[in-house]
Structure 1
Amino acid sequence: MVQEKKLVQNVSGWLRIYDDGSVDRTWTGPPEAKFMAEPVPPHEEFIDGVATRDITVAESNRSVRLYLPEITSADKEKLPVVVHFQGGGFCISEPDWFMYYNMYTRFARAARFICVSPFLRCAPEHRLPAAIEDGFSTLLWLQSVAKGESKELWLEKHADFSRVFLIGDSSGGNVVHEVAALAAIPVHPGFLRSTRSKSELEKPQSPFLTLDMLDNFLALALPVGSTKDHPITCPMGEAAPPLSGLKLPPFLVCLAEMDLIWDTEMEYYEAMKKANHDVELFVSKGMTHSFYLNKIAVDMDPNTAAETEALIARVKEFIEKH
């Protein structure tokens, strides 16, 4: 008789862990939102002005998704490259999920860049710093393509490797800080402390960020025995290297006014300013964590749609400036 496995942990409908160590990331929240966490197959033909391709990087044996906007007569030069690191508390999400496909096809089309989005390894099967290592290996691979040591036709033909930007949302923003190369855009980065902040206690939870996710995803992702004060989750803390001693690129920190972790995100921004780094701030008024990934809200609520467009425009401005 086969013994039925038992559920050990369930995190906000996004992730379940069983007593045999297996992990299930099937969305169990409202069924009308399930489509946002389903993969979109790659298509090398241009659909709504963007083509996508999945490739395997031989050096790391990791997959990377590329988003290429259709080249037009208005593109006088090769396009900048934006390396995107997905969020999800280091435990869930993939760059081919619809929520990212929808957002990064819009980004690539509007801001005129090639998006390179690696499939970062997820915890708890792969605890940190696995995702950081995957992000850094993606930069090394881009460098090898730029030098002609590796082949990727879209990048060789259309990419301007002198303009490489890093962008990451939520925990992907933490990856941005760790692997920053030329210019970086953390969007609603998951910077925290072990003690609850005022915003965590007072601001609204959403399907994209609950206190349950904050606590449990990071407990599963961080090295065993670590707390949220770890340098990856708290780069402005005492356990992290002093920000003043780091050689960092220009940063655009994008925050949401009603984000649960607003206080510690702002603490990071203020610490970067105090350390005399080139850092800019953009705030989406009245919005919650990762609001722009919620296609239902973007389609149905004019304010969410407007703030999403404003975010895209600000990222585009930052890329053009640098």
Structure 2
Amino acid sequence: MASTDSEIVKEFRFFRVYEDSRVQLTFPPFLKATVPPSDDPVTGVRSKDVTISSEPLVSARIFVPKLTDPKQKFPLLFYVHGGGFCMMSAFAPGYHDFCRTISAQAGAIVVSVEYGLFPDRPIPACYEDSWVALQWVASHVGGNGPEPWLNDHVDFGKVFIGGDSAGGNISHTLAFRVGSIGLPGVKVVGVIFIHPYFGGTEDDEMWLFMNPSNSGLQDPRMKPPVEDLGKLGCERLLIFVAEKDHLYTPGKDYYEDLKKSEWGGKVELIENHGEEHVFHMRNPKCEKAAELMGKIVSFIKED
């Protein structure tokens, strides 16, 4: 709620901070909209919501493609939504439609994680919640996890991680943890970044404010060093950058740094010319959004 009895001491892209330490989010109310899970009669994709952890609360929406065999196995995409670490939801209409489309076109199970957001849960909650959720997915490797869809239908030799904007940043930290710590029984084949945030912009001060435990502008979660890139736990990486996006240069810098690192995988950079940040979410039916979706689908289906 807005404060009327204190002065604004800091103002960022998505929120302002008052003298009495209260935080007022400034993004439009429609960005809080959510939709329930559903079965899509056109594609046959089904979805459901699951609780992964109750304290702190971590949940996810799972999408499973139409089954043609009761023992059918699918690759899995673990998806992390964007929103500047303080807004949006895995249950938002745009993300629901995006993940459902990937599930249908790629023939993949999608687990879209709902992680903690600032200011209720400051950074690093987003990183920790997402890692907890990815470990929960891995707990189904033996076929005796809590979610039947994952037990019965996931090919754990074909797992992907992906995200857009802040979700791309979080996806990097997941891939780094997989490479550094491991994820027993799971092979992360590829990682997808869509217009990812990796520091180097006016939003850096906002990220530092949202993360009271930050280590400054060189914090490896915000601006990954080359040595961290060499430890990514995946074989392939697909990076999208948009020409008119303020995150364009950091995304390209990540690509160049990755090529200088000791990582031995295959990386592809896709430039969305003439487009702005996450244009595919704002106008999912445009030609370039369809091209972006096609690249993601091909990336997942590639042998």
Q: Does 1:219 align with 2:200?
A: no
Among 46, 59, 67, the residue aligned to 2:40: 46
Aligned to 1:289: 277
- Give, in angstroms, the shift of residue 251 of structure 1: 1.1
Partner of 1:319: 300
Relative to structure 1, the CA distance from residue 151 to residue 7 in structure 2 (aligned partners, 3 Å threshold; closer, same or farther) is: farther
Superposed CA offset, 1:221-265 (max 9, x none): 23345434211111036xxx4433555442111211222121121
Runs of 5+ consecutive residues of structure 2 not aligned to the other structure: 179-187
Distance in 2 (CA, whole Å) between partners of 1:126 and 1:165 is 26
Q: Secondary structure at the match of 1:277?
A: coil
Query: How much does 1:268 deviate?
Result: 0.6
Task: Say if 1:35 and 1:98, in contact at 8 Å, map to a contact too.
Answer: no
Q: CA deviation at 1:10?
A: 5.5
Q: Which of 273, 277, 280 is residue 264 of structure 2 equivalent to?
A: 277
CA shift, 1:186, in A, is 1.3
How many pairs are equivalent?
A: 284
SS in structure 1 of the partner of residue 208 of structure 2: helix
Question: Is contact 1:255–1:262 with CA below 8 Å preserved after alignment?
Answer: yes
Quote the Cα distance in structure 1 between the aligned partners of 2:119 and 2:31: 22
**Residue 167 of structure 1: which of 148, 157, 162 is its match?**
162
* 1:137 Cα deviation from its structure 2 partner: 1.0
Give the 3-state SS of the residue equivalent to 1:255 in structure 2: strand
Corresponding residue of 1:119: 114
Aligned mates of 1:78, 1:41 — CA distance in 2? 25
Q: For 2:221, give the aligned amino acid.
A: I
Counterpart CA distance in 2 for 1:37 and 1:18 is 22
Q: Which residue of structure 2 aligns with residue 206 of structure 1?
A: none
Structure 1 residues not aligned, in runs of 5+: 29-33, 197-210, 300-304
Indicate conservation of the 8 Å contact 2:242/2:275, yes or no.
yes
> Is 1:308 matched with 2:294?
no
Determine helix, strand or coil for the equivalent of 2:139: helix
CA contact (8 A) 2:71 2:152 kept: no
Select 2:74's aligned residue among 79, 82, 101: 79
One-letter code of the match for 1:186? F
1:157 aligns with 2:144: no
Relative to the length of structure 2, the TM-score reads: 0.82
CA distance in 1, matches of 2:154, 2:231: 32
Alignment partners' CA distance in 2, 1:59 and 1:35: 27
Task: Name the amino acid aligned to 1:190.
Answer: Y
AA of the residue aligned to 1:311: L
Identity value in percent: 29
Indicate the RMSD between aligned Cα atoms, in angstroms.
2.8
> What is the aligned counterpart of 1:189 among 187, 190, 196?
196
